[in-house]
Structures are given as structure tokens and as C-alpha cells.
């Protein structure tokens, strides 16, 4: 029944194989963390969610206040030895993960492995909704959409555990579907507005920079989509600057409003620049050991950040490099660009607004990640929201070129 609700006849095989892969990834992730690492954030989030469930039985008013995000001391001190004491009580973004994991841990009977499987199953339904979006947008590219979204190993593993990344990955995809159905091809606007607001709430509560990257890429996406609808090149020349100004102003206004709500290091560009500067200063003291990279020092300002944009984007997209670790994405990118040709590659992108969105989102998110991350282990996890977009974009260009060659004999 679930498969028939979420799939088209042509997508059934991808739904089941993707689900098998997702559940395998969830179990593998849980076992690796328990038996190889002996714990970590995933255990902490599970345990903290369990403490919140226990609090719900003992002190329901305090439980609901904390679930709403009210972290006043009187509610945080409601925990007892019987409920257990959750972690991350002084980190609102990490504590948000504790809150969001409560329903999944409850459905998993407070068992770590079962809760991981339950979370992965529900997140898979959200992820497959994005696959359905891609298959409707590009019906002749279902196979590569499934590969890019459901079967990339790093995405499969890091989006299958009780971690921030599982939530932000799934709801970033849902936000993209919602944006398309609200602004590019308006459809069931009330439903998709609710999806977008809920997705924004989840992402902003945990990793605001992902939503900022989505916002920046969406502005370019909408500009490209509306501009390409104008048939007359003469009219397009006059309309495009006006649309660009409109979308940029709307984006700046949204960014400023969200910054006031989110606060902390994401409340402004200057605050983000200061955060990135502190990370690079820590790196210069080698607090991360050998499992780190360095894009070089810079001033804690907007100009200082932008001066490191090339290094940060390359790091966010491709590091660790081939000589640091086996990076299949770098090899795939080089192979496709040279196989298709740089000019043909750019020409294919310019024809498809969604592909323009995909590359802009990948670049902006890579910039954020490369600038504010110095650890390879974290880097691999942090970039998973943009990997399906980037991989699909690469495979789409390659497959389109291959089909044209086949048609031309």
C-alpha cells in the first residue's frame, strides 16, 4: 500500500531497491557506531530523546515546553535521575535534534537500532518524494535520478542514522519540491506552503546555512525559469534586470529576517565571517590533528571570506583529494567535463533552470562548508545535501550527450 501511494508504475523497482539500500545503510550505520566507534553523537541524540520521553511521563508540562524549543532553566532542570539527563542542553541546534528525534525513538520503543530503522524509513519516504519530483521533471532520466539520489554510498550511510544530517538532508529535498510547486509550476499551493514552512523550521533549527544556500540557489532558479519563458530575446533583455533586482531584494529581505530569528553565528554575514575566522585560527594551532585541511588565513570580514571562495568551494566539493583519499566525485566530474566538452557542458546547463539551481546550490553550500569546516570526517557528512543535485547534474549532461550521439549514428 505504501509503495502504491508513493510510486508510479515505472518507479516501483526503484522504490523497493532504494528502501532495501536505505534500511541496510541504517543498520550498517548503527552497528558501525556501536561496535567500531563505541558511541558518538548518534548515541547521544538517541539517549537524549529517550530522556525527553521519560520526562513526558513524569512532567508533561515541562516536556511540551522543551519540545516547543523553550529552553528556560526551569524546564531544563526538570530532568531527574529517573528520567536521565539529556546532552547538549546548552546548544540549541543540537538540542533541537534531541526534540525532533523523540517521535522516532518512541516508535522504536526507545531501542537504538529499532529507532534508527524507523527514522530511516520515514526519511526515505520524504527522499523518495523528491525522486518522484525528478522523475516527473525528467521522465527519460529515471535511472540516473535513482542513482544520484538513492544509491550514492556516502549519502546513503550519512543520511541513515540518528544525526542532524538525516533530517536536514531529507527536508532540504522536500523544500526544493515545495519551492518548485509554489513558484515555478504553482500547484496545490497550501499543501506545499505547509511543506516549505515545516522544512524551513527543521533546517533553520539545526543547520541554517543549508537553508541560506537553498535560498540563494532558488533566486537564481526562479530568475532562470521566468526568463526562459519569455520567447522574445528583445523583451528578455529588458525584463531580466528587473526580475533579478526583484528576486535579489526578496532574498536579502528573507535573509535578514531569518538571521534575526536564528541568531548566533548565522544572524548575519559578518557573524558567519567571524565564525569562519575562528575555525581557521583553531586550525593553525592544529587542534584537529592530521585529519584536517587548511584553506589559508583571511580577515574576519565579507571581503576576507570572498577572497577564499575558490579554495573553500573546491574543498567543500572535492576534498579529500585523490592523493588524500579516493574521491570518486572528482574523477566523475573530470571524466564527464572532458568527455562532453566544457562548452557543451555549460550549454546543457544553461538550457535547464533546475540544473542551474543544482550547480548554484552545490557551489554555495560548498563555499559555506569549505569555509567553516576543517575536519575531513565532518566535511564528508556536511556536503551530503548537495551531492544528489551535483551528481544528477553531471549524469544528466553525460546522458544527454550520449543520447544525441546515438541519434546521430
Give the tens place of pLDDT for each residue, 122-172: 999 999 999 999 999 999 999 999 999 999 988 998 999 999 999 999 999
Mean pLDDT over 233-244 rounds to 63
Q: What global pTM score does this model have?
A: 0.87
| Contact predicate 146/155, CB 8 Å | no
Q: Mean pLDDT lowest for which of 98-107, 211-220, 319-328? A: 319-328
At residue 361, what are phi and psi to the nearest 5 degrees? -60, -45
CA gap 101, 97 in Å, rounded = 6
Q: Mean pLDDT lowest for which of 39-43, 194-198, 389-393? A: 39-43
CA gap 19, 122 in Å, rounded = 10
Q: Any idea how long the chain is?
A: 409
State residue 216's pLDDT score.
86
Question: Per 3-state DSSP, what percentage of the chain is helix, strand, and coil (rounded to 5)?
Answer: 80, 0, 20
Query: Does 223 have pLDDT greater than 80?
Result: yes
Query: Does 226 have pLDDT greater than 60?
Result: yes
CA gap 172, 127 in Å, rounded = 9
Residue 12 CB coordination number (10 Å): 13
State residue 45's pLDDT score.
96
Query: Does 287 have pLDDT greater than 50?
Result: no
Query: Does 317 have pLDDT greater than 70?
Result: yes
∠ CA 104-108-110, nearest 5°, is 95
State residue 276's pLDDT score.
63
Tell me the CA distances in angstroms from 55 to 63, 67, 105, one per residue in order. Answer: 6, 11, 14
State residue 175's pLDDT score.
96
State residue 284's pLDDT score.
46
Tell me the CA distances in angstroms from 166 to 104, 122, 131, 173, 217, one per residue in order. Answer: 12, 10, 16, 11, 21
| Contact predicate 123/21, CB 8 Å | no
At residue 301, what are phi and psi to the nearest 5 degrees? -150, 170
DSSP string covering 64-101: HHHHTT---HHHHTT--TTT---S-TT-HHHHHHHHHH
State residue 381's pLDDT score.
86
State residue 299's pLDDT score.
65
Query: Does 43 have pLDDT greater than 60?
Result: yes
State residue 267's pLDDT score.
56
Q: Which residue in 409, 309, 323 sits closest to 368, CA to CA?
A: 309
Rounded to the nearest 10 degrees, the angle between the axes of helix 208-228 and helix 164-179 is 20
For the chain, give the mean pLDDT. 83
State residue 403's pLDDT score.
84
Q: Which residue in 209, 374, 208 sits closest to 287, CA to CA?
A: 374
User: What is the band of 316 on the pLDDT scale with cuts at 50, 70, 90?
Assistant: confident
The string of pLDDT tens digits covering residues 178-204 is 999 998 888 889 999 999 999 999 999
* Bridge partners, residue 292, by sequence: 375
∠ CA 140-144-147, nearest 5°, is 150
Query: Does 324 have pLDDT greater than 90?
Result: no
Query: Does 288 have pLDDT greater than 50?
Result: no
Q: Mean pLDDT lowest for which of 213-222, 224-233, 263-272, 302-311? A: 263-272
Q: Structural domain boundaries of the chain?
A: 207-409
Amino acid at each position: 500500500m505504501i509503495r502504491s501511494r508513493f510510486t508510479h508504475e515505472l518507479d516501483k523497482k526503484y522504490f523497493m531497491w532504494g528502501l532495501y539500500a536505505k534500511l541496510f545503510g541504517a543498520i550498517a550505520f548503527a552497528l558501525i557506531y556501536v561496535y567500531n566507534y563505541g558511541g558518538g553523537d548518534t548515541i547521544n541524540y538517541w539517549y537524549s530523546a529517550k530522556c525527553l520521553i521519560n520526562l513526558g511521563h513524569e512532567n508533561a508540562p515541562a516536556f511540551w515546553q522543551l519540545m516547543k524549543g523553550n529552553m528556560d532553566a526551569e524546564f531544563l532542570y526538570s530532568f531527574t535521575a529517573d528520567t536521565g539527563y539529556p546532552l547538549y542542553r546548552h546548544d540549541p541546534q543540537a538540542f533541537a535534534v534531541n526534540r525532533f528525534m523523540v517521535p522516532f525513538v518512541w516508535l522504536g520503543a526507545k531501542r537504538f537500532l529499532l529507532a534508527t530503522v524507523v527514522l530511516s524509513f520515514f526519511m526515505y519516504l520524504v527522499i523518495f518524494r523528491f525522486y518522484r519530483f525528478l522523475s516527473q521533471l525528467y521522465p527519460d532520466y529515471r535511472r540516473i535520478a535513482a542513482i544520484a539520489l538513492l544509491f550514492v554510498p556516502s549519502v546513503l550511510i550519512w543520511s541513515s542514522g540518528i544525526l542532524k544530517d538525516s533530517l536536514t538532508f531529507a527536508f532540504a529535498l522536500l523544500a526544493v519540491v515545495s519551492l518548485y510547486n509554489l513558484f515555478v509550476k504553482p500547484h496545490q499551493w497550501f499543501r506545499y506552503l505547509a511543506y516549505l514552512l515545516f522544512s524551513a523550521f527543521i533546517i533553520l533549527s539545526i543547520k541554517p546555512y543549508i537553508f541560506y544556500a537553498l535560498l540563494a540557489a532558488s533566486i537564481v532558479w526562479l530568475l532562470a525559469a521566468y526568463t526562459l519563458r519569455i520567447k522574445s530575446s528583445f523583451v528578455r533583455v529588458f525584463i531580466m534586470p528587473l526580475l533579478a533586482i526583484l528576486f535579489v531584494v526578496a532574498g536579502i529581505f528573507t535573509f535578514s529576517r531569518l538571521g534575526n530569528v536564528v541568531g548566533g553565528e548565522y544572524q548575519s554575514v559578518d557573524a558567519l565571517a567571524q565564525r569562519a575566522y575562528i575555525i581557521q585560527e583553531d586550525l593553525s594551532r592544529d587542534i584537529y590533528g592530521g585529519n584536517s585541511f587548511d584553506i589559508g588565513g583571511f580577515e574576519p570580514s565579507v571581503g576576507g571570506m570572498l577572497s577564499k571562495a575558490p579554495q573553500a568551494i573546491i574543498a567543500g566539493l572535492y576534498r579529500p583529494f585523490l592523493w588524500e583519499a579516493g574521491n570518486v566525485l572528482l574523477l566523475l566530474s573530470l571524466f564527464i567535463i572532458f568527455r562532453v566538452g566544457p562548452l557543451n557542458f555549460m550549454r546543457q546547463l544553461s538550457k535547464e533552470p533546475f540544473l542551474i539551481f543544482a550547480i548554484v546550490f552545490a557551489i554555495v553550500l560548498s563555499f559555506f562548508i569549505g569555509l567553516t569546516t576543517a575536519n575531513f570526517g565532518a566535511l564528508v557528512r556536511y556536503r551530503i545535501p548537495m551531492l544528489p543535485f551535483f551528481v544528477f547534474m553531471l549524469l544528466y549532461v553525460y546522458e544527454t550527450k550520449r543520447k544525441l550521439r546515438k541519434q546521430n549514428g
